[in-house]
Amino acid sequence: SIVATGFGPPPNTLTEPVWDTVKRDLSRIVSNLKLVVFPNPYREDPGKALRDWDLWGPFFFIVFLGLTLSWSASVKKSEVFAVAFALLAAGAIILTLNVLLLGGHIIFFQSLSLLGYCLFPLDIGALICLLKDNVIIKMIVVSVTLAWSSWAAYPFMSSAVNPRRKALALYPVFLMYV
Segment 102-150, tens digit of pLDDT: 888 888 888 888 889 999 999 999 999 999 889 999 999 999 999 999 8
Residue 100 CA to residue 111 CA, distance in Å, equals 10
Cα–Cα distances (Å) from 139 to 38, 52, 67, 135, in that order, read: 23, 35, 20, 6
Q: What is the pLDDT of residue 63?
A: 95
Report pTM. 0.80
For residue 87, how many C-alpha atoms fall within 13 Å in the half-sphere facing its CB? 15
Q: What is the pLDDT of residue 1?
A: 44
pLDDT confidence tier of residue 11, bands split at 50, 70 and 90: low
Q: For residues 108 and 48, is the Cβ–Cβ distance under 8 A?
A: no
pLDDT confidence tier of residue 3, bands split at 50, 70 and 90: very low
Average pLDDT of the residues in 150-156: 85
Q: What is the pLDDT of residue 10?
A: 57
Q: Which amino acid is at 112?
A: L
Q: For residues 95 and 176, is the Cβ–Cβ distance under 8 A?
A: yes
Residue 174 CA to residue 25 CA, distance in Å, equals 28
* DSSP structure string for 86-114: HHHHHHHHHHHHHHHHTT----HHHHHHH
Sign (positive or negative) of CA dihedral 131, 143, 92, 26? negative
Closest residue by Cα to residue 160 from 117, 89, 97, 118: 97
For residue 84, how many C-alpha atoms fall within 13 Å in the half-sphere facing its CB? 27
Q: For residues 65 and 119, is the Cβ–Cβ distance under 8 A?
A: yes
Segment 77-111, tens digit of pLDDT: 999 999 999 999 999 999 989 888 888 888 888 88
Segment 14-63, tens digit of pLDDT: 778 888 888 988 888 888 888 777 776 666 665 565 677 788 889 999 99
